Amino acid sequence: MKWRLSALKYGKGICTLISIGLLFIILIACQNTNQEGRNSQPQSLEQTKYNQEDDNDYLDDQPQLAGGSERDVREPHPVSNNKLQKEYPNIVFLHGSPKKNQVALTFDDGPDTRFTPQVLDVLAKHDVKATFFLIGARAKVNREIAKRIHDEGHAIGNHTYWHPNLPKEELGRLHWELTETEQVIKDITGFKPRLFRSPYGALNDEMVKMLGEKNNTVIGWNVDSLDWKQPGADIVSDNVLSSVGFGSIILMHDGGDWSMDLSGTAQALDKIISKLKKDGTKFVTVPELIGVPEAK
């Protein structure tokens, strides 16, 4: 009888230990399940962007071109802007004096976090000053890059706030785009830019009249690098070097549509500057080339 009672007590003790062990295992399993659940939850937008950047997968959160990609919208205007330049010679400029061996490099659609620093590095390497036509929305979110452009001695012009195709808009849109961008640039640099370049180079008579009344100087170009077509650095440099002359205003891009890879622009720029310097060409800003102030 005593043996049976001892065995019973022993059995109860074993059961208690087994129960405690099972409870401990269940608790551990639950903790692991909860942890896995937490790990499988969708990441926040900030976490996702951070990880994608770590993997060098560019997630473009920059303001986009309201009028669309350059390659989809740009239309050749070989005569129309020349007519406007003839009609408004004190407002519209497509080039500088053909009597001086100097040119102006210009860059549109920035500041861009990917390509503007590359372009600035090449310009600094050669101690060359250029002119940047900034999109207001991009300057606002990339303030430090815009400030670097100004601090390194480059000229700055207005390229609208959202980059719309202006001839297809009401004239009031131009006024809004102009003044909003002026304010952004003034907040960064301390001045309102006098220079204005229309997106896609698209202009009409009404626009030029308004811009003139607002004390703006309209800047076009007579040498197009066609870098927005992304043909590669060699073709971009050839496009420029085969067309450039005394007084040329050269169009290039340090920003664009989110899908564009403009790294070839910076590569071509190095070759363009080196070749033209050998010919004794002087690089100047647009205000220096045409003799107008940078600020209003």
Compute CA distances 78 → 81, 104, 220, whole Å: 7, 20, 11
Determine the 3-state secondary structure of 73 from DSSP: helix
Q: Which candidate in 108, 109, 112, 257 is catalytic? A: 108
Q: Which candidate in 150, 159, 163, 253 is catalytic? A: 253
Determine the 3-state secondary structure of 139 from DSSP: helix
pLDDT at 229: 93
Residue 253 a catalytic site member: yes
Residues in the chain with pLDDT values less than 50: 1-60
Match domain 79-290 to its CATH number in 3.20.20.370, 3.40.640.10, 3.50.50.60, 3.40.30.10.
Answer: 3.20.20.370
pLDDT at 107: 98
Q: Which two tokens stand for residue 43?
A: 């990441």
Residue 18: half-sphere exposure toward Cβ, Cα within 13 Å: 6
pLDDT at 257: 85
Q: Which two tokens stand for residue 12?
A: 């109860």
Residue 108 a catalytic site member: yes
